[in-house]
Structure 1
Amino acid sequence: MGQPPHRRGSPVADGGSWPGSPTVITIDTRFSGHHGIARYAREVTGRLSGLEWSGLSSGRNPSSPAGLLDGFRLGRSTRLFYSPGFNPLASAVPQLLTLHDLIHLRPGLPNRSRRLAYYEALIRPVIRRLGRVLTVSETSAEEIRRWVRDDTVEVINAGNGCSSEFTPGAAASRPRRPYFLYVGALRPHKNVPTMLTALAGLPEARLIVVSPDHTRFSTALARHGLSQRAEVLSGLDDRRLASLYRGAATTVLPSTAEGFGLPAVESLSCGTPVVYWQGCKSVREICAGYGTAVESATDVGQWRVALRDALEQPQPVSGFDTGRFCWNRVADRVGGVLRGL
């Protein structure tokens, strides 16, 4: 029995193509998970239409040394490799990468020197060779243009999307007491200690954290005396997360830097305002007019006042333009770039 026909807009095989099939694009399908790059990869690749492509799926971490060597598994007919992430392959095939941000390279972050070497030796040459790179916000695009130091490279903001689960229409999660919601990791640029210190001075405040860093977050909550009025959740699906957004008094996003700021979009799409630092440009672009901008990133007093006001004077969001963050639009932009290469 012969091989099944090559379908458009879907992978034909892992790391190869059917015999005789003119596979010209291989897409990195090694990402897994609910949020971050894995979410972006799943949403975008699942919507690419009118393209013939094969998937590269090995079970390896794309950021690992073994993941780099997956380049040797590319099919001989591949003329372009597209990754929804930033990890290149050891391959002579031209590669279109997606640099979501350059936060890894900021001074003071762990393992910065190792990451600088990785970006300088591997990522920048791959980008310069193709002359194009994708990203997810204009904030990230501006940073990448400065970093790549090559005016011939086109940095394309393909945007980012938000799941259709995040709407204000469904029933909210109704708490016994009002709560704040934080969604994200526990990394230096997330500025979590400022938020926790501010909340520690609000005895009436409750906090729900949605994060993959369950153990470390629990330790941080205990350190700030918040264990009895905070909860850490992990691995939620979109429906459960959307319910938590709807039930929150506000979503807290104290980051000093973000490539995009997906929790802000999700929260506002659910009708819940956001308290954020006004100096975080990408978040400010999303939230302007739909939340509270705190002037200082680290002034605990300012954050405490903003959070108390959010509890005492709730301001549900209406009129937020969710159409700006549509996955179909993102996939159309990515597909357009791929077709043009």
Structure 2
Amino acid sequence: MTTSSGLVINGRFTVQSLSGVQRFAGEITRALARIWPEGAPSPRLLAPPGRLTESDGFGFAVEQAGRLKGQLWEQIDLPRLAGKRVLLNLGNTAPLFVRRQFVVLHDAAVFAQPQGYSWKFRLWYKILQMVLCRTGARFVTVSRFSQREIARHLGISADRISVIPEGGEHIRQTPADTSILDQHHLTGQRFVLAVGNLAPHKNLRALSTLARALDERGIPLVISGGANPSVFGAAAVLPHPALYVGRVTDGQLHALYQAASCFVFPSLYEGFGLPALEAMACGCPVVASSIPALQEVCGDAACYADPADENDIMAGVQRVLDEPGLSAQLREQGFARAALYTWDRAARALLALTEGAGVA
């Protein structure tokens, strides 16, 4: 895959609501802009029509072009606009019939956790990714675990999938907005924090035993994120009692991480596990599921619990709260671990791939 005409970044993420995939795309794009070689032609960041989701920009100028939106824009308008340049797709999807392109696949959840997605979504993603495997697309993912999972489910060699890290420093660089602590009467109070939604693989329902145990001690379980059962189905279970603060800004999330006595992350499946890295970057002790991706990212900087065992999760959190010196040890190890994962490091790894394709 070689070209002398430069790089185009698929900017569909710039008009999408912010979730983990869009976070990755935005932060890696800003980091690419910071480290882009002086004198080299800048990439074109192409986006569909619509309202941009970030007011502070993405490092490169956003060019909104085309007449379509969503998947149709990506499949029809984007290839025409990109021309013969190499296309960089950062968010799991890409045009089917572009020969020279990179595609970042964050995980294989649509195969491994199908209950979390509608049948239409599953069908489209499976068709899309399987067709891309039979083109010249080069794949990138965010952990060794995801590399193995994607290769297994798509039936391709792991050698076709490059691995780059994610970063967590963005949350620490956003000034903490402590008004959320005052608003919910958390200032100066011990509390345990969880971040997620009611998608089945996020496993928030496994915090029910913990919530009751903490309540008996007068310690709130605070949950941030989408927690509307109407979105995730009647089977969604809300841990009770808990304090639900809803979706928060980065500044508010920074304040919550910074003030929490412990962060608990009970996921059944992750491709990377960005919230755990964010918590460590903010000095919050982490209790994480003993699943491969989180063990890969957190290393020895977290306590682990079986996500299928509510009592084990409760015991892990109570250990962090009560064992002398453990909380301070996890904070120190968490800072050191988080320092290994930065967006600039991730961007350099991605840039090295594009340089290998002759586009930088």
Deviation at 1:267, TM superposition (A): 1.0
Letter matched to residue 247 of structure 2 = S
Spell out the pairing of 1:96-175 with structure 2 (5 A cutoff): 96-111=102-117, 113-130=119-136, 132-151=138-157, 154-166=160-172, 175=187
Deviation at 1:93, TM superposition (A): 4.0
Describe the shift of the 1:104–1:76 C-alpha distance in structure 2 as closer, same or farther (beyond 3 A). closer
Distance 1:94 1:128 in 2: 13
Deviation at 1:115, TM superposition (A): 4.3
- Contact 2:192 2:261 (C-alpha < 8 Å) held by counterparts: yes
Letter matched to residue 281 of structure 2 = S
- Write out per-residue CA displacement over residues 7-61 of structure 1, whole angstroms, 9 at most, x where no aligned residue: xxxxxxxxxxxxxxx7442211121444412111111122321353222211479
Match of 1:284 in 2: 295
Q: What is the SS of the residue equivalent to 2:321?
A: helix
User: Is 1:29 aligned to residue 35 of structure 2?
Assistant: no
- Contact 1:103 1:257 (C-alpha < 8 Å) held by counterparts: yes
- Contact 1:30 1:59 (C-alpha < 8 Å) held by counterparts: no
Distance 1:75 1:293 in 2: 47
Identity of aligned residues (%): 23
Distance 2:237 2:78 in 1: 47
Distance 1:119 1:153 in 2: 22
Spell out the pairing of 1:70-89 with structure 2 (5 A cutoff): 70-71=76-77, 74-75=80-81, 77-89=83-95
Letter matched to residue 244 of structure 1 = L
Deviation at 1:251, TM superposition (A): 0.4
Match of 2:42 in 1: 52
Letter matched to residue 270 of structure 2 = E
Match of 2:54 in 1: none
Describe the shift of the 1:205–1:216 C-alpha distance in structure 2 as closer, same or farther (beyond 3 A). farther
Deviation at 1:194, TM superposition (A): 0.8
Match of 2:221 in 1: 207
User: Is 1:300 aligned to residue 315 of structure 2?
Assistant: no
Letter matched to residue 302 of structure 2 = G
Deviation at 1:154, TM superposition (A): 1.6
Q: What is the SS of the residue equivalent to 1:31?
A: helix
Deviation at 1:335, TM superposition (A): 1.3
Letter matched to residue 47 of structure 1 = A
Spell out the pairing of 1:201-280 with structure 2 (5 A cutoff): 201-203=213-215, 204-213=218-227, 224-226=239-241, 229-237=242-250, 239-278=251-290, 280=291
User: Is 1:333 aligned to residue 344 of structure 2?
Assistant: no
- Write out per-residue CA displacement over residues 66-99 of structure 1, whole angstroms, 9 at most, x where no aligned residue: 2443445633643321111111125444321100
- Contact 2:262 2:286 (C-alpha < 8 Å) held by counterparts: yes
User: Is 1:318 aligned to residue 319 of structure 2?
Assistant: no
Match of 2:57 in 1: none
Describe the shift of the 1:301–1:60 C-alpha distance in structure 2 as closer, same or farther (beyond 3 A). same
- Contact 1:70 1:90 (C-alpha < 8 Å) held by counterparts: no
Letter matched to residue 92 of structure 2 = F
Letter matched to residue 244 of structure 2 = E
Deviation at 1:266, TM superposition (A): 1.1
Size of the aligned set, in residue pairs, is 314
Deviation at 1:107, TM superposition (A): 4.8
Structure 2 residue runs of 5 or longer lacking an equivalent are 52-67
Letter matched to residue 109 of structure 2 = I
TM-score by length of 2: 0.76
Describe the shift of the 1:309–1:129 C-alpha distance in structure 2 as closer, same or farther (beyond 3 A). same
Match of 1:41 in 2: 25
Structure 1 residue runs of 5 or longer lacking an equivalent are 1-21
Q: What is the SS of the residue equivalent to 1:26?
A: strand
Distance 1:275 1:308 in 2: 10
Name whichever structure is richer in helix by fraction. 2
Letter matched to residue 290 of structure 1 = A
Distance 1:70 1:60 in 2: 17
Letter matched to residue 316 of structure 2 = A
